[in-house]
């Protein structure tokens, strides 16, 4: 079932593997993020930045530098990129990220091509602000010169995170590629989708919506799988921006496409109609979804959800 209020970039493996004239971003799965970090109020007294101390080590076998300043020195000396992991101790997704992702053997192996460092975002607030960290966990990638080249915000599983690491390990500057694409004002479907992905990675939600909307206008049509992925991501953004009526229109159009994933579309429509406070329509689509799924546990879950909606309506 779709987790609401989680913004995700789209999995476009069908055409992201093709040669790109400008930029390539790896697919970005749904992942929760913490609330944005806030700046001190105007006139408020800003606490002094504490002296850097070795951060506690995460689980797994990644070798962590004792501080960001030491990591930058080592990176320059060894001509390696830096992988700076920003965390806070009270955020459960940070713990999950450390255990499930940073502890993965493939991620650990690839980390040897980086100088890695953990940075406590609470202890080093000014450092987090300097690198534009607004939620946790966040990973900021820097080149050997200390320039920011890529970022990953929120929990991400091991395999997708490994894909995020590889282009940086190969020496690419994805931040620069994104900026060049944004300035080029693209008009073709693929470049607009890549631009939308870049905007989402930088949490520029309105810009991402505009890029995806332009991609749909320029795209191959609702029967194309790539278009479906754009619709799914765009509807999540509409949900986040509290414009579910736009999701309804797109999803109903997608439902008519012969090649669409009817189970997923019915589920998303059910969620959308709950947001629109139309429980009768929500139940209609959840029931349609139930008829299409084969897994008994999933059927049972849908039944429980429908029952809960009906109980809520009776109150």
* Distance in angstroms between the alpha carbons of the first and the last residue of the chain: 25
Pairing of strands 82-87, 138-142: antiparallel
Give 291-311 pLDDT, tens digit per residue: 999 999 999 999 999 999 999
pTM equals 0.74
Do 245 and 278 meet the contact criterion of CB atoms below 8 Å apart?
A: no
The CATH number assigned to the domain with range 23-32+54-178 reads 3.40.30.10
Give 10-20 pLDDT, tens digit per residue: 233 323 333 33
Equal CATH topology for 23-32+54-178 and 186-314 = no
How does DSSP classify residue 221?
Answer: -
**Could you tell me which CATH class the domain 186-314 is placed in?**
mainly alpha
Across the chain, mean pLDDT equals: 84
Secondary structure of residue 131 in the 3-state scheme:
coil
Token reading at 198: 């870049």
Alpha carbon 51 to chain centroid, angstroms: 32
How does DSSP classify residue 65?
Answer: E
Question: Using CA of residue 6, residue 18, residue 198, residue 165, what is the dihedral sign?
Answer: positive
Residue 288 to residue 75: CA distance in whole angstroms: 55
Instruction: Calculate the CA dihedral of residues 145, 151, 152, 153 and round it to 10 degrees.
Output: 120
How does DSSP classify residue 66?
Answer: S
How many helices (DSSP H) and strands (DSSP E) are in the chain?
Answer: 14, 5
Backbone region of residue 190 per phi and psi (left: phi > 0; alpha: psi in -120 to 50; beta: other values)? alpha
Longest dimension (CA), the chain: 68
List average pLDDT for each run of 10 residues in the chain, which is 315 residues long.
35 33 34 35 30 42 95 97 97 95 96 97 95 94 96 93 96 95 95 94 93 96 95 95 96 96 97 96 97 95 95 83
What is the residue-wise DSSP string for 236-289?
HHHHHTT-HHHHHHHHHHHHT-TTS-HHHHHHHHHHHHHHTT-HHHHHHHHHHH
Give 137-193 pLDDT, tens digit per residue: 999 999 999 999 999 999 999 999 999 999 999 999 999 999 999 999 999 999 999
Residue 125 to residue 48: CA distance in whole angstroms: 10
Task: Report the DSSP beta bridge partners of residue 120.
Answer: 87
Q: Where are the domains of the chain?
A: 23-32+54-178, 186-314
Length of the chain: 315
Do 222 and 252 meet the contact criterion of CB atoms below 8 Å apart?
A: no
């Amino acid at each position: 079932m779709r987790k609401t209020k989680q913004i995700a970039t789209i999995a476009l493996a069908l055409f992201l593997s093709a040669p790109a004239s400008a930029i390539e971003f790896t697919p970005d799965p749904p992942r929760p993020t913490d609330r944005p970090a806030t700046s001190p109020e105007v006139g408020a007294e800003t606490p002094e930045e504490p002296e850097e101390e070795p951060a506690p080590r995460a689980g797994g076998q990644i070798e962590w530098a004792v501080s960001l300043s030491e990591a930058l020195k080592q990176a320059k000396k060894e001509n390696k990129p830096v992988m700076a992991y920003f965390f806070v101790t009270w955020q459960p997704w940070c713990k999950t990220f450390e255990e499930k992702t940073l502890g993965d053997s493939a991620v650990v192996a690839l980390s040897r091509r980086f100088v890695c460092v953990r940075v406590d975002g609470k202890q080093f607030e000014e450092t987090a602000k300097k690198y534009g960290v607004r939620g946790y966990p966040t990973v900021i990638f820097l080149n050997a010169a200390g320039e920011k080249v890529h970022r990953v915000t929120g929990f991400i599983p091991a395999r997708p995170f490994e894909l995020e690491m590889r282009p940086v390990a190969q020496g690419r500057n994805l931040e620069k590629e994104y900026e060049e694409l944004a300035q080029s004002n693209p008009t073709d479907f693929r470049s607009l989708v890549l631009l939308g992905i870049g905007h989402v990675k930088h949490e520029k939600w309105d810009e991402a919506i505009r890029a995806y909307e332009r991609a749909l206008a320029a795209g191959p049509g609702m029967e194309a799988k790539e278009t479906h992925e754009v619709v799914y991501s765009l509807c999540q953004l509409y949900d986040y921006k509290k414009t579910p009526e736009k999701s309804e229109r797109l999803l109903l159009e997608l439902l008519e496409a012969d090649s669409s994933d009817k189970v997923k579309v019915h589920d998303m429509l059910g969620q959308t109609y709950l947001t629109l406070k139309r429980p009768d329509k929500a139940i209609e689509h959840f029931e349609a979804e139930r008829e299409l799924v084969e897994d008994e546990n999933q059927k049972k879950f849908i039944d429980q959800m429908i029952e809960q909606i009906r109980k809520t309506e009776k109150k």
